[in-house]
Amino acid sequence: EGQSIQRGDKKLIIAAAGLEWVPSLTTEAEINGVKWQVVNIKEANPAGTPLVYFCQVRK
């Protein structure tokens, strides 16, 4: 966690409602046939319950 933003990085926003797993640095996402690795995660949880995960992803 805490890696700097590099050219080509993207932001992946994941709603926490109904999510059966929590994103981690070992999470990979396939978007339009391309695999992306999560390199940073920020969680929005204003009342202590996660609402959304902001993931920085990299090819």
Is 55 buried (19+), middle (13-18) or exposed (0-12) by CB count in 10 A?
buried
pLDDT digits (tens, 9 = 90+) for 1-11: 556 999 999 99
pLDDT digits (tens, 9 = 90+) for 47-56: 999 999 999 9
**Pair of tokens at residue 5:** 């933003």
Q: How confident is the model at residue 31 (pLDDT cuts 50, 70, 90)?
A: very high
44 with 14: CB under 8 angstroms? no
pLDDT digits (tens, 9 = 90+) for 15-30: 999 999 999 999 999 9
> What's the pLDDT score for residue 3?
64
> What's the pLDDT score for residue 2?
56
